[in-house]
């Protein structure tokens, strides 16, 4: 064989006597992603008009029991969303309710999870009862979002309903799904996933 040993086809992987660089192990890198959904249904409820549905109105409202100086005229709003696209097994999930203010006010508002079902025809008289407040906010600026943390309600993909109430200040007014050229309520779910980084390319050497 003329003094030459043929080792054709033999591949020396990284870390062998061939002196190649070892292949790196697989690693995972945390990445943040989010899913944003627009409101499915929204409406407001008026204590002063207990039998009147307001789903077709072009705004949402929240006002204390004494609303703009009138006692017995509280207003509350309801919003419902369908969350899809959050992968199973994700961690660190947060949910944020975003409402676009339609006027600048000193309003104090709160948001609660609503469990009972409701439809567009809901009125003050048959309104669902809100749960414990998940978050509060004070002071609204016309044309800007107010963000409310509703992470405590998250339980995976599915339907979520929230009630918005005012506890003090002037009447709070927000864009609804029916507001022409407006920004309807949105629900944003942010979560962390693990991305696989690698494996890196292995270095090989053919020896003859």
Q: What's the rounded Cα separation, in Å, for the pair 142 and 59?
A: 13
202 pLDDT band, cuts 50/70/90, is low
- pLDDT score of 103 more than 70: yes
Burial class for 101, CB neighbours closer than 10 Å (0-12, 13-18, 19+): buried
Q: What's the rounded Cα separation, in Å, for the pair 28 and 117?
A: 41
Q: What's the rounded Cα separation, in Å, for the pair 95 and 130?
A: 18
How do the domains of the chain map onto residue ranges? Answer: 31-196
The chain-wide mean pLDDT, for the chain, equals 87
Q: What pTM, to 2 d.p., does this model score? A: 0.80
61 pLDDT band, cuts 50/70/90, is very high
Q: What's the rounded Cα separation, in Å, for the pair 183 and 175?
A: 6
What is the CA angle 95-98-100, rounded to 5? 180
- pLDDT score of 23 more than 70: no
Record: fold of 31-196? Jelly Rolls (2.60.120)
- pLDDT score of 16 more than 50: no
| Residue carrying the six token digits 């709160």 | 110
198 pLDDT band, cuts 50/70/90, is low
What percentage of residues in the chain have a pLDDT greater than 90?
72
């Amino acid at each position: 064989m003329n003094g030459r040993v043929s080792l054709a086809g033999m591949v020396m992987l990284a870390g062998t006597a061939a002196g190649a660089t070892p292949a790196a192990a697989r690693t995972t890198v945390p990445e943040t992603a989010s899913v944003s959904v627009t409101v499915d249904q929204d409406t407001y409820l008026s204590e002063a008009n207990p039998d009147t549905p307001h789903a077709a109105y072009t705004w949402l409202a929240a006002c204390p029991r004494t609303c703009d100086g009138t006692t017995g005229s509280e207003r509350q709003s309801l919003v419902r969303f369908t969350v899809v696209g959050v992968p199973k097994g994700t961690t660190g999930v947060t949910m944020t309710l975003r409402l676009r203010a339609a006027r600048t006010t000193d309003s104090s508002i709160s948001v609660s999870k609503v469990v009972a079902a409701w439809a567009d025809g809901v009125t003050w008289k048959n309104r669902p009862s809100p749960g414990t407040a998940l978050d509060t906010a004070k002071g609204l600026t016309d044309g800007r979002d107010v963000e409310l943390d509703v992470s405590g309600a998250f339980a995976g993909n599915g339907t979520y309903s929230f009630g918005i109430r005012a506890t003090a200040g002037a009447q709070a007014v927000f864009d609804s799904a029916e507001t022409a050229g407006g920004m309807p309520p949105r629900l944003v779910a942010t979560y962390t996933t693990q991305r696989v980084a690698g494996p890196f390319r292995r270095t090989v050497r053919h020896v003859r």
